[in-house]
């Protein structure tokens, strides 16, 4: 098992590569859905999972989706500000904090994926639909998954990392 000092050898570009991989995977999957599914189309995959094409004009869980249009640019600017903050955080982050770096990179990739959709289309394309007993979790995408995994990893890192180990 490598110790933390082994990760000092990873250049900062490693974290940005993770972010770009999430962005690329997000855009490739959304492009596939947009090209192969009509709006509202739902394809049954398993007893708990469908592929569906939906457009989210708001934020998470469609918050602000019916706000009249101003939310597009508000959420886009917010995503840009957060993305710049995350880039600065990554640049300043000591490379031995590899779990934190991976988490931030996942969040950055997801933020950029959804930002692209908002600016180009005016909405975010969602397509992953999980359900159980007739209840559906709000549809989401690869970018949302990156953000969720990154946030979870940040919390995990805060819980396992000793605060005095700077």
Q: Where are the domains of the chain?
A: 13-34+50-160
Phi-psi region at 137: left, alpha or beta (left = phi > 0; alpha = psi -120 to 50): beta
This prediction's pTM: 0.87
Burial class for 53, CB neighbours closer than 10 Å (0-12, 13-18, 19+) = buried
Task: Give the active site residues.
Answer: 126, 144
Q: What backbone phi and psi angles, to 5 degrees, belong to 146?
A: -60, -45
Query: Which pLDDT does position 100 carry in this prediction?
Result: 93
| Interval 29-56 mean pLDDT | 95
Dihedral sign of CA atoms 94, 98, 154, 160 in order: negative
The Cα 86–Cα 88 span in angstroms is 5
Predicted confidence band of residue 36 (pLDDT cuts 50, 70, 90):
very high
- For the cut 80, the answer to whether the pLDDT of residue 101 exceeds it is yes
The Cα 147–Cα 23 span in angstroms is 11
């Amino acid at each position: 098992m490598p110790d933390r000092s082994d990760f000092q050898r990873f250049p900062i570009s490693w974290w940005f590569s993770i972010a770009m991989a999430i962005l690329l995977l997000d855009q490739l999957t959304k492009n596939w859905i947009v090209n192969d599914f009509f709006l509202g189309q739902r394809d049954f995959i398993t007893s708990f999972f469908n592929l569906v094409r939906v457009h989210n004009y708001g934020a998470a869980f469609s918050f602000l989706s019916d706000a009249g249009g101003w939310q597009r640019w508000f959420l886009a600017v917010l995503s840009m500000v957060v993305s710049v903050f995350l880039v600065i955080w990554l640049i300043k982050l000591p490379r031995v904090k590899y779990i934190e770096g991976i988490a931030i990179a996942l969040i950055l990739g997801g933020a950029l994926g959804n930002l692209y959709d908002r600016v180009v289309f005016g909405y975010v394309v969602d397509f992953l639909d999980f359900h159980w007993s007739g209840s559906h979790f709000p549809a989401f995408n690869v970018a949302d998954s990156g953000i969720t995994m990154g946030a979870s990893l940040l919390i995990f890192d805060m819980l396992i990392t000793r605060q005095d180990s700077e």
